[in-house]
C-alpha cells in the first residue's frame, strides 16, 4: 500500500516509486513534517528527522521545527498556515491529532476542481484530523499520493465542531517546511500580453511572495512556485513545485528563517478573505499539488504535464485530438456578417483548417466593446439566419462552428443590466469602476448562475456548436455582494469563484460534446482550476512569435502542451507591430494547440500554399505536438535570450519534432550545435526539415541519424557564416524525427 501508518510511532509514510512524504504525530499531538523528497524505505521509521523534544520545543511548536500545518501565536514566529478568530476575539489555536483515515483512491472536493484517480489503485489518500479543544475547530488535512507521478495532492477542510461562531482569517491549502534554505524560488510573472515569464531569485531570510487580489489568478502571477537548487538545470537536480488548483485570489509565499530552514505555503490569499463558520459548518479549501523531482525542471514539468493532462482535465476532449481552428477576432474584430464569416471559413477549409470560431460581437447590438454583454441573443443584423444558419453553412463546408462567450460580465448598456442592476457587483451608494466598459456579475448569487445557465444553454442548444471560448475580460473592483450580510463580505471573492465553477460544471455536463477553451484577456486566468473544466486555455492575446517564445516556455513549466492555445496571426503583429515570417509564426505556434487568428481571405496564393503546408504538417504531427513530452533545450530567459530551442517527443520515443528559433541575426557568428534529449539512443531517426528544403547545413536531406548521435552531438540550431541558408532576423528551424523500422531499407 502506498500509505503506511505506523500505529506505534504515529508516523504516516506516503510513497510511490519516486517520492516519499512523511509526517508524524508528536507526543504533544502536534503534527510534524519529517520529509518530502526522494523515496525512502517505507518499512523504516524516521523520527530522527523530526524535532527531538529537546529544549523549548517541549512546550511549543517552535521554529525551526518542521511543521505540517503551523498555527500562529504558539511560539512559531514564521508564517502560519491558518488563523482562526474565535468568539472571544482571540486567534490562539492548538491543533492536536484527533484521528485519521486511509482510503483507496482520491475523493472529489465538493464544488471545487481537483485532480482525480480513475481507478482506486491509482492513488491512496490519508485524512488527518487535528482538533483545537477550546474553540471546537477541527482541521482535516488530506494527502493523496499518486501511483504514477511524483506528486502529492493536498487540501484542508475546516469544520466548526464547537458551540460558538468561528471566523477563518487564513486557511492555506498547503504549508511545506524544508530543512534548509538553499533554494531558488521560480515564479511565472508578467502582465497582459506578456504572461508567465520565468523569474528566479534566491531565497534569503524573510518572506517573498506572489499573489493576486484581482478576483482571478491573473496575468501578473501564476498560482505556482518552484523551489529549485541553484545548480538545478532542465535535466538534473532537485526541484519542488507547488501548484494551486484554483482560479481566484491566491498567495504563494516562501520564507527563509534565521535558522536556515525554509517554509513555503500556498492557498487563498488571506488579504481579502474571511469565512464565518457557524456551529456545524465547514469550508473546503482548494487543492494544492506538490511535486518533487531530482530530474531537474524538465522532470518537474513531466510530472505536472502528465497529471494535469490525464487526471485534471476530464471529459471526452481529454484524450481526443484537438482541432486546428481559425478565430475571426483579429481578422474582423466586431465588423462582420454571415457572408464575410463564411468567406473566411471557406478559405480556411481549403487550407485544411477544421474549426471556425466566431469571437466577440455576435450578440445583442455589440459593434464595439461598449454594450450588450449579458444579452446572449443573436444579433440578426449581422447573422440574419441566426447561429444555426451560420453553423449549417460552416458545416456545409465540412467544418464545425465554435463560439465566444463572456458569461461573467455585464455591460451597463444592456438589457440584462437594465433589468437587474443589482446583479452587478459593487457597493450600494458608490460608483462602480468600469473596465473595458463592463461590470462583473455577482457569481456568488445562485439566481445569477441559474440565469446564465439557462441563457447559455439556449444559445448552445440552438445550433451545432462544437467549441466554446469562455472569456473574462476584466478584474474585480468594489468586490462586494448586495446578497451577503456585512460580516460575510470577506467570503465574496471565494463565493464568486465557486459560482464560476458551478456554471462551468453545469454547462460542461449539459454539453459534453463541446470543447471548452478558457480565456481572460488572453492568459489572465491560465490555472489548473480552469483546466478541470476547459481542457485548453487561450495562452495570451500576444501572438507575436518572439514574445510567444517566452510566454510558451514559461507556461510549459507547469501546463501541458495540450492546454496551450497557440495561433498564427497577421503581421505587423497587432500587439507589438513586429513583422515575422509566416514560417516563424507557425513554427512557434506548432508547440501547443495550433490555430490561426486572422482574416484568411487576405491570403495571397503563396500564403495559401504555405498555410496549407503548415496545417498539413501540424495535423501529421498533432499527436506529438499536443500529447508528446515537452523537452526544453535552450531558454529565452538565459543569456541574451536570442535563441530558444525545444522539442516534443512521443511517449514511445519513435517520433519527435524540434523547434529552434533565433530572434536576431548576428553578423559573422559561428554555428551552434545543440544536443537533443529524450530520444531513444538505440533508434535510428529520419531527420526531415520543415518547410521542405530548409535542411540545416551539414545535415543530410532526409538523412538518417542515430538517437545516440542526435543526443551526443546534436543538430545545428544556428547556422554559421557560410551556411547557404538565408540569414536574417526571426528565423525558425523545425525538424521532424521519425524512427525508422528497417534501417537497412532506410
| Candidate segments 306-314, 519-527, 697-705, 711-719, binder of ligand DGJ by CB under 6 A | 519-527
Q: From 584, 556, 559, 555, select the one nearest 569 (Cα to Cα).
A: 584
Please state whether 678 falls in left (phi above 0), alpha (psi between -120 and 50) or beta: left
Enumerate residues 610-639 that contact ligand DGJ by CB under 6 A: none
What is the contact mask toward ligand DGJ in residues 542 to 581, using x (rule: CB under 6 A)? ----------------------------------------
Query: Least separation, in Å, of the C-beta of 723 and ligand DGJ?
Result: 38
Closer CB to ligand DGJ, 235 or 369, in the complex = 369
410 lines the binding site for ligand DGJ (CB under 6 A): no
Nearer to ligand DGJ, 442 or 471 (CB): 471
- What is the Cα–Cα distance from 295 to 301, expressed in whole angstroms? 10
- Contact between 213 and 528 under an 8 Å Cβ cutoff? The reply is no
Region near ligand DGJ per CB under 6 A, out of 10-18, 292-300, 448-456, 514-522: 514-522
Question: In this structure, are residues 582 and 589 in contact, taking their beta carbons and an 8 Å threshold?
Answer: no
CB closer to ligand DGJ, 66 vs 531? 531
Applying CB under 6 A, the span of 279-287, 302-310, 459-467, 517-525 interacting with ligand DGJ comes to 517-525
CB 384, CB 355: distance < 8 Å: no
Q: Which of residues 357-396 bind ligand DGJ (CB under 6 A)?
A: 359-360
Quick check: helix, strand or coil at residue 432? coil
Give min distance, CB of 574 to ligand DGJ, in A.
Answer: 10
Q: Which is nearer to ligand DGJ, 405 or 448 (CB)?
A: 405
CA distances from 649 to 309, 321, 539 (A): 15, 16, 22
The residue (of 36 and 329) whose beta carbon lies closer to ligand DGJ is 329
Cβ nearer to ligand DGJ, comparing 155 with 473: 473
For residue 151, give the C-alpha cell.
Answer: 506528486
Does 471 qualify as catalytic in the annotation? yes
Binding of ligand DGJ by 541 (CB under 6 A): yes
- To ligand DGJ, the closest distance from the beta carbon of 206 in angstroms equals 37
> H or E stretch including 297?
helix 296-311
Taking the complex as a whole, how short is the minimal distance between the CB of residue 381 and ligand DGJ, in angstroms?
18
In angstroms, the CA 129 to CA 156 distance is 10
Q: Which is nearer to ligand DGJ, 246 or 538 (CB)?
A: 538
The three cell numbers locating residue 608: 495559401
Does residue 130 contact residue 10 with C-beta atoms inside 8 Å? no
Residue of 76, 257, 442, 541 with catalytic role: 541
| Residue of 329, 356, 470, 480 interacting with ligand DGJ (CB under 6 A) | 329
- What does the buried/exposed string (b/e) look like for 682-717 if buried means 16 or more CB atoms within 10 Å of the residue's CB? ebbbebbbbeeebbbeebeeeeebbbebbeeebbbb
223, 296, 522, 696: which one binds ligand DGJ (CB under 6 A): 522
When the beta carbons of 261 and 552 are compared against ligand DGJ, the nearer one is 552
Nearest position to ligand DGJ, beta carbon: 360
Cell of 207: 518572506
DSSP assignment of 355-421: EEEE-S-SBTT-SSTTS-TT--SB-TTT-TTHHHHHHHHHHHTT-EEEEEE-TTEE-SSSHHHHH-G
**Binding test (CB under 6 A) with ligand DGJ, winner from 135, 301, 414, 473:** 473
Distance CA 562, CA 313 (A): 10
To ligand DGJ, the closest distance from the beta carbon of 269 in angstroms equals 24
**519 forms part of the interface with ligand DGJ (CB under 6 A):** yes
Q: Is 379 a catalytic residue?
A: no
Please say whether the beta carbons of 197 and 554 come within 8 A.
yes
* Sole binder of ligand DGJ in the list 304, 308, 417, 538 (CB under 6 A): 538
Number of residues that bind ligand DGJ (CB under 6 A): 11
- Single residue of 46, 404, 504, 730 touching ligand DGJ by CB under 6 A: 404
Q: What angle do CA 605, 342, 591 make, to 5 degrees?
A: 65
For 215, half-sphere exposure in the C-beta direction (CA atoms, 13 angstrom radius) is 26
For residues 151 and 267, give the distance between their C-alpha atoms in angstroms, rounded to a whole number: 17
What's the CA angle centered on 575, arms 570 and 579, to 5 degrees? 45
Q: Which region, judged by CB under 6 A, interacts with ligand DGJ, from 50-58, 456-464, 515-523, 706-714?
A: 515-523
- Of the chain, the end-to-end C-alpha distance in Å amounts to 48
Judged by beta carbon, residue 201 or residue 436, the one nearer ligand DGJ is 436
Q: Which is nearer to ligand DGJ, 175 or 475 (CB)?
A: 475
Write down the catalytic residue from 269, 471, 599, 613: 471
CB of 330 to ligand DGJ, least distance (A): 8
Among 76, 124, 471, 491, binds ligand DGJ (CB under 6 A): 471
Contacts 24+ apart (CB under 8 A), 450-456: 452/407, 452/503, 453/503, 453/506, 453/507, 453/510, 455/376, 456/376, 456/405, 456/407, 456/507
What is the smallest separation between the CB atom of 401 and ligand DGJ, expressed in angstroms? 16
DSSP 8-state code for residue 686: E
- Of the listed pieces 77-85, 282-290, 499-507, 516-524, which binds ligand DGJ according to CB under 6 A? 516-524
Catalytic sites, residue numbers: 471, 541
Enumerate binding residues for ligand DGJ (CB under 6 A): 329, 359-360, 404, 471, 473, 519, 521-522, 538, 541
Amino acid at each position: 500500500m502506498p500509505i503506511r501508518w505506523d500505529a506505534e510511532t504515529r508516523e504516516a509514510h506516503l510513497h510511490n516509486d519516486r517520492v516519499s512524504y512523511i509526517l508524524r504525530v508528536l507526543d504533544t499531538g502536534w503534527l510534524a513534517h519529517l520529509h518530502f523528497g526522494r523515496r525512502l524505505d517505507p518499512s523504516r521509521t524516521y523520527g530522527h528527522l523530526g524535532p527531538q523534544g529537546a529544549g523549548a520545543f517541549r512546550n511549543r511548536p517552535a521554529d525551526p521545527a518542521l511543521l505540517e500545518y503551523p498555527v500562529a501565536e504558539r511560539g512559531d514566529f514564521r508564517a502560519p498556515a491558518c488563523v482562526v478568530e474565535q468568539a472571544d476575539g482571540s486567534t490562539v489555536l492548538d491543533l492536536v491529532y484527533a484521528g485519521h483515515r486511509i482510503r483507496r483512491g482520491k475523493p472529489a472536493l465538493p464544488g471545487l476542481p481537483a485532480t482525480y484517480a480513475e481507478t482506486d489503485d491509482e492513488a491512496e489518500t490519508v485524512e488527518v484530523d487535528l482538533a483545537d479543544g477550546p474553540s471546537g475547530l477541527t482541521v482535516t488535512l488530506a494527502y493523496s499520493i499518486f501511483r504514477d507521478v511524483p506528486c502529492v495532492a493536498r487540501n484542508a477542510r475546516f469544520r466548526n465542531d464547537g458551540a460558538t461562531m468561528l471566523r477563518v482569517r487564513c486557511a492555506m491549502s498547503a504549508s511545506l517546511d524544508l530543512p534548509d534554505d538553499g533554494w531558488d524560488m521560480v515564479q511565472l510573472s508578467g502582465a497582459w500580453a506578456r504572461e508567465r515569464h520565468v523569474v528566479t531569485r534566491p531565497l534569503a531570510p524573510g518572506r517573498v511572495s506572489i499573489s493576486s487580489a484581482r478576483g482571478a489568478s491573473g496575468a501578473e502571477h501564476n498560482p505556482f512556485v518552484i523551489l529549485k537548487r541553484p545548480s538545478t538545470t532542465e535535466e538534473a537536480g532537485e526541484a519542488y513545485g507547488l501548484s494551486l488548483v484554483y482560479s481566484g485570489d491566491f498567495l504563494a509565499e516562501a520564507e527563509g528563517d534565521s535558522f536556515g530552514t525554509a517554509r513555503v505555503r500556498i492557498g487563498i490569499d488571506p488579504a481579502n478573505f474571511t469565512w464565518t463558520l457557524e456551529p456545524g459548518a465547514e469550508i473546503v479549501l482548494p487543492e494544492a499539488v506538490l511535486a518533487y523531482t531530482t530530474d531537474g525542471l524538465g522532470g518537474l514539468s513531466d510530472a505536472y504535464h502528465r497529471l494535469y493532462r490525464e487526471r485534471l482535465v476530464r471529459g471526452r476532449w481529454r484524450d481526443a485530438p484537438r482541432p486546428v481552428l481559425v478565430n475571426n477576432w483579429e481578422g474582423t474584430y466586431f465588423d462582420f456578417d454571415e457572408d464575410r464569416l463564411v468567406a473566411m471559413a471557406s478559405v480556411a477549409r481549403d487550407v485544411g483548417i477544421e474549426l471556425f470560431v466566431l469571437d466577440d460581437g455576435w450578440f445583442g447590438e455589440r459593434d464595439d466593446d461598449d454594450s450588450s454583454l449579458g444579452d446572449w441573443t443573436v444579433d440578426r443584423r449581422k447573422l440574419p439566419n441566426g447561429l444555426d444558419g451560420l453553423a449549417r453553412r460552416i458545416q456545409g463546408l465540412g467544418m464545425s462552428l465554435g463560439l465566444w462567450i463572456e458569461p461573467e460580465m455585464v455591460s451597463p448598456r444592456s438589457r440584462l443590466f437594465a433589468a437587474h442592476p443589482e446583479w452587478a457587483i459593487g457597493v450600494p451608494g458608490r460608483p462602480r469602476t468600469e473596465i473595458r466598459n463592463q461590470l462583473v456579475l455577482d457569481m456568488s448569487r445562485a439566481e445569477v448562475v441559474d440565469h446564465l445557465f439557462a441563457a447559455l444553454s439556449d444559445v448552445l442548444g440552438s445550433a451545432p456548436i462544437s467549441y466554446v471560448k469562455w472569456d473574462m475580460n476584466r478584474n474585480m473592483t468594489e468586490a462586494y455582494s448586495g446578497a451577503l450580510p456585512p460580516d460575510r463580505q470577506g467570503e465574496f471573492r471565494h463565493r464568486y469563484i465557486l459560482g464560476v465553477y458551478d456554471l462551468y460544471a453545469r454547462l460542461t455536463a449539459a454539453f459534453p460534446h463541446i470543447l471548452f477553451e478558457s480565456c481572460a484577456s488572453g492568459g489572465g486566468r491560465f490555472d489548473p482550476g480552469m483546466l478541470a473544466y476547459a481542457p485548453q486555455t487561450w495562452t495570451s492575446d500576444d501572438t507575436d512569435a518572439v514574445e510567444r517564445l517566452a510566454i510558451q516556455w514559461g507556461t510549459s513549466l507547469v501546463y501541458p502542451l495540450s492546454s496551450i492555445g497557440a495561433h498564427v496571426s497577421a503581421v505587423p503583429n497587432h500587439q507589438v507591430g513586429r513583422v515575422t515570417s509566416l514560417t516563424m509564426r507557425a513554427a512557434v505556434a506548432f508547440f501547443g494547440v495550433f490555430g490561426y487568428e486572422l482574416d484568411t481571405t487576405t491570403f495571397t496564393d503563396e500564403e495559401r500554399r504555405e498555410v496549407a503546408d503548415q496545417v498539413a504538417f501540424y495535423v501529421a504531427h498533432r499527436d506529438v505536438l499536443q500529447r508528446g513530452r515537452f523537452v526544453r533545450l535552450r531558454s529565452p530567459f538565459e543569456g541574451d535570450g536570442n535563441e530558444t530551442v525545444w522539442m516534443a517527443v512521443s511517449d514511445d520515443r519513435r517520433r519527435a519534432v524540434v523547434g529552434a528559433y533565433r530572434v536576431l541575426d548576428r553578423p559573422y557568428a559561428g554555428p551552434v550545435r545543440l544536443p537533443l534529449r529524450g530520444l531513444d539512443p538505440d533508434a535510428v531517426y529520419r531527420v526531415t526539415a520543415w518547410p521542405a528544403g530548409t535542411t540545416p547545413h551539414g545535415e543530410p536531406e532526409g538523412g538518417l541519424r542515430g538517437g545516440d548521435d542526435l543526443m551526443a552531438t546534436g543538430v545545428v540550431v544556428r547556422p554559421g557564416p557560410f551556411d547557404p541558408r538565408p540569414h536574417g532576423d526571426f528565423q525558425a528551424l523545425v525538424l521532424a524525427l521519425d524512427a525508422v523500422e528497417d534501417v537497412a531499407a532506410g
